[in-house]
Chain A
């Protein structure tokens, strides 16, 4: 039997499909009976998927570094 503690530690493995069929079944059985763990897994999933849909906008390169790199690219391609 899987404890809630064990389940939370293995959540990412489960979501990535890194578990054997038997282990996945045990995981699912536990989830079917445990709303705390269902909530936790759902939230880890939301975090994972949220990270994939929202662009990371910080930190940024300083403006001058950015301009220099773009200028370097353009100079390189002018030759």
Chain B
């Protein structure tokens, strides 16, 4: 179950086809934050990401009547977005292969610290959190995550958003981002691990 009050495609698509402005506003508001972050995985500024997302929505508006429902609406919209972002990145002379990995700030895959034998140098402290909901709400995990997503390598953020926030499948995400399955897994795991570290600091009361 993914975080959205949106109706399913079976309601949404007919509503959009019928010109229901509220349905369009609902998808616009539900998906734009994620689209902006994914775009930011390709282009070098927030302003450019905003342009890319607006262009993507324009393309969605143009293509909506021809949408055949072979994929989910969400997959279709995010595919348009990724294509626009990639095109724009090339135009802005960012090399796409670099941004497709874009996760390398020199950190090893492993953020945790281990002894030479591979055992924990310092084990993670357990969290007094009993559910994902309570992590995000009662413990303010949402605001930590939103802040951290803006700081981690943008391509890691993009994969985490597409997979974990938006619930797209691994296959769809690989196609959409044009990354291999193994790249996608590495990006996903690094992104999640960074978020875990940020949440651990927050829950331990460490200064931001």
Instruction: Give the B-binding residues of A (Cβ under 8 A).
Output: 3-6, 8-9, 11-13, 16, 18, 35-37, 39-40, 42-44, 46-62, 65-66, 68-70, 72-74, 76-78
Contact = CB atoms under 8 A, between A and B. Distances in A.
Interface in B92-140: 109-110, 112, 114, 117-120, 123-127, 129, 131-133, 135-137
A30 to B, nearest CB: 11
Contact of B21 (A6, A9, A65, A74): A74
B33 interface: yes
Contact of A4 (B37, B119, B129, B160): B119
Interface of B: 1-4, 18-19, 21, 24-25, 28-30, 32-34, 36-37, 46, 49-50, 53-54, 57-58, 61, 109-110, 112, 114, 117-120, 123-127, 129, 131-133, 135-137, 141-142, 145-146, 149-150, 160-161, 164-165, 167, 170, 185, 188-189, 192-193, 195-196, 199-200
Given A53-B133, A55-B30, A43 B123 contact: no
B185 A12 contact: yes
A59 B46 CA distance: 9
Nearest to B54: A65
Contact of A43 (B18, B19, B119, B127): B127
B19 A54 contact: no
Contact of B132 (A8, A46, A73): A46
B34 A56 contact: yes
A61 B57 CA distance: 11
B164 A36 contact: no
B136 A54 contact: yes
A70 B60 CA distance: 12
